[in-house]
Amino acid sequence: MEAYLDRDVKLNSTAQTKDGSIKGQVVRGGVNLAVGQIFIQICSFARNIIIARLISPADFGIASMFAISLSLVEMISSLAAEKLIIQASEGDSERFQSTIQCLQFFRGCVIGLVLFSIAGPLARLFGVEDARWAFRWLGFIPFIRGLIHQDMTRLQRHMKFGPSILVEVGVSVVVTIAAFPLGKWFGDYSAMLWIIVAQAGIGVLGSHIVAERRYRWALDKGIISQVLTFGWPLLINGLLMFGILQGDRFMIGAASRLFGREIYSLGDLGVYSVAFSLAFAPTVLITSISTPLFLPLLSRVQDSERSFERRYYFVCQTIALAGGLFSIPFIISGEWIIRVIYGSKYANAGSVIAWLAAMQALRIIRTGPTLAAMAKGDTKNAMYSNVVRSVAFVGVVMTAAFGGSLSLIAASGFMGEVLAMGFCVGRLQRVHRIPMMVCLKPALLSGAFMIFGAAAGSVFHMNQSLLVSLSVSLATLICFLGGIFFAFKNFRNELITFVANN
């Protein structure tokens, strides 16, 4: 990989790992992140399965409202200051980190108070006034998270992912173990509430345990100005992200109150949330690996056009491969996967999983150009792209107003991702002179196989046979891998070289 990623740019020795090579950094960092994040997502997945099987779909719908409400206040207040620690040239300084930590605590206090204050209106909006106490408890979570030690984020500048992985894995193990006794004890939505509270508290404690520096606060006007300049587009982007990630479920949960008649039940919200969490899991996994791994890799050569484009090409191919591998099985066999994992009471989720999986595949692929823009210090690309993506929310609202199916709501999100992808790569070319086809080639190849998988599902009626469904999924994945390796020679050669040498 070293020859492919960086043939003509020598890295500064302070930014190198012990073997002094990009190959060592990328491979070791990628393996560590992949193993850690896969384990974390397995724990998260298992936790959701445990809770979903122990409580009713209606209670699971209420539990999903906690995530919606928490996301609302956190996304619309995020300046992504922790990302600036990685991107900024002075992000290693202690004063820079201390100022970020102070700002994060202040932010946590503010949004915690806001969430506590609006607990009553939120409970009424969702028609679950008996759960008002639970929404108030959510207000303590941002306050707790505001005390996170950012040293484990700083270490990612040097491709040191061990501390952050250790904390996340430890938190995941503890709360997953606690899921069954909590679910059995409470037997309703409150089990998920206490899991979320415990997750926040243990995460903060872990961040302080693995830190190399002492936890300090500082206030530096220059750094605060830099944070605001870097983060204000992401602040707007956070509001847009809420509409993108939570807007459909918010509308399903609130439609009856908003339009004055019974449209969707809490059970419908629970079913849709199960499908969404299943389809969204690969997105969380891949982006949580890609962002800390590829952002510093691209940022280091942001001023070298040739090396930047070469690394960006590799990033796009890798992410497209990962997105297709995860999404194709859900598109083809999603209904069976839901039946086996969550049980027959969530079987209706099979009608929306294919659209949601296709939507998340595009979102995964869009990570590549988004990281490229961010590495250039351009946070407006993500904001503008999500403005375009938010057009889909109009379709969601109209579908809900006319009592349309959950599948149409999911399809609206997919069309929004198509528009956002086109805008994202187009702006990257216009502003930074990075060709659109660098990203679109692997994206189009992945899309072609997803369409093929969806068509095969219709032809073979795979919901009637688990064996046929799995067989078609496997055959499509093999063809997809062959297509990637055939179409992208450099990518194929680098992987072959890596396997041969390791």
How do residues 203-222 score in pLDDT, each as one tens digit?
A: 999 999 998 889 989 888 88
Q: Which of 172, 194, 174, 173 is nearest to 183 (CA)?
A: 194
Q: What is the mean pLDDT of residues 108-137?
A: 84
| pLDDT-derived band at 425, boundaries 50, 70, 90 | very high
Q: For residue 21, what is the DSSP state?
A: -
114: which residues sit within 8 A by CB, 6+ positions away? 73, 139
What does the alpha-carbon distance between residue 349 and residue 453 come to, in Å, rounded to a whole number?
18
Confidence of residue 126 (pLDDT cuts 50, 70, 90): confident
What 3-state class would DSSP assign to 303?
Answer: coil
CA dihedral 355, 356, 362, 367 (to 10 degrees): 180
CA-based nearest residue to 444, from 283, 272, 316:
316
Give dist(CA 198, CA 194) in Å, integer: 6
Measure Cα distances from 417 to 60, 355, 480 in Å. 27, 11, 21
129-133, 256-260, 295-299, 430-434 — most confident range: 430-434
Residue position matching structure tokens 């509001």: 239
Q: Tally DSSP H helices, then E strands, for the chain.
A: 23, 0
CB atoms within 10 A of CB 342: 22
Greater pLDDT, 201 or 494: 201
Question: Has residue 15 got a pLDDT over 60?
Answer: no
How far apart (Å, rounded) are the C-alpha atoms in residues 183 and 55?
7
For residues 464-484, give the mean pLDDT.
81
Joined tokens for residue 251: 């509308």
| Residue 114 identity | V
- Give me the torsion for CA of 183, 187, 193, 199, rounded to 10°: -10
**Domain chopping of the chain, boundaries:** 20-245, 248-502
pLDDT in tens, 326-366: 888 888 888 788 887 777 777 777 778 888 888 989 999 99
State the pLDDT confidence band at 10, using cuts at 50, 70 and 90: very low
Cite the DSSP H helix spans in 126-161: 132-138, 140-145, 151-154
Q: Is pLDDT larger for residue 492 or for residue 252?
A: 252
- Which amino acid is residue 374, in one-letter code? M
